[in-house]
Structure 1
Amino acid sequence: MAKRFKIGNHVKWNSEAGRVSGTIIAIHTRDFAYKGRVRHASPDDPQYKIKSDKTDHIAAHKGSALDHA
């Protein structure tokens, strides 16, 4: 079963810059455009938009890339 998160959850993930943490600000359950690309999502495998704690950068990841912080 895929990991599930809610808006407001504090999560962490690996990025090119190392381990990053942030707060989930949106959940997508359908395909959506993000930074010029189509990101694939479904109700069974949603994508999460996360705002970084340090830089306020917004990232989009599937639940499999995230852990509870």
Structure 2
Amino acid sequence: MALAREAFTFPVRLSDVGSGGNDGCPCEKPSATHRERIMSREWKAGDRVSWNTPQGMTTGRVVRSISARTHQDGHKVAGSKDDLRYEVESEKSGKRAVHRAQALHKTGAR
């Protein structure tokens, strides 16, 4: 069975696969639980989270939320009240980094 060549055009845009939205999810009609999970991405200091790095998944704790433009280790952090950033500390190395809420995943208490 031959597939239509037009069905596989690249690069794929979010508008091609769904509504996208502010959460970056390409779901056409996200379920209520999916929307709830997306909206609950506000972390508190002390929350245990994981995030992806080039070396693999890393776990740590949220140190603070950043809601204004600031500098962290020589880098500009463009946090705002509408787009919070979170400073996290790695459990393994103790190093700190800043991530958006979407990059963090809740992990169990340790």
Q: TM exceeds 0.5?
A: yes
* Whole-Å separation in 1 of the counterparts to 2:40 and 2:71: 22
- Larger-gyration structure (1/2): 2
Please name the residue that 2:55 is paired with. 17
Please name the residue that 1:36 is paired with. 74
Counting matched residue pairs gives 69
Higher relative contact order (CA 8 A, sep 6+): 1
Choose between structure 1 and 2: higher helix proportion: 2
Superposition RMSD in Å:
1.2
Q: Equivalent pairs: percent with the same residue?
A: 28
* Whole-Å separation in 2 of the counterparts to 1:40 and 1:2: 21
Please name the residue that 2:95 is paired with. 57
Deviation at 1:17, TM superposition (A): 1.2
TM-score for the superposition, normalised by structure 1: 0.91
Note the residue ranges of structure 2 that are not aligned, 5 or more in a row: 1-38
Partner deviation per Cα, 1:27-47 (whole Å, 9 max, x = no partner): 110011012221111112111
Note the residue ranges of structure 1 that are not aligned, 5 or more in a row: none
* 1:27–1:48 Cα contact (<8 Å) kept: yes
Q: 4+ residue stretches of structure 1 with deviation over 6 A?
A: none
TM-score for the superposition, normalised by structure 2: 0.59
Choose between structure 1 and 2: higher strand proportion: 1
* 1:2–1:64 Cα contact (<8 Å) kept: no
Partner deviation per Cα, 1:20-61 (whole Å, 9 max, x = no partner): 000011111001101222111111211111110111011110
* Whole-Å separation in 2 of the counterparts to 1:17 and 1:27: 24
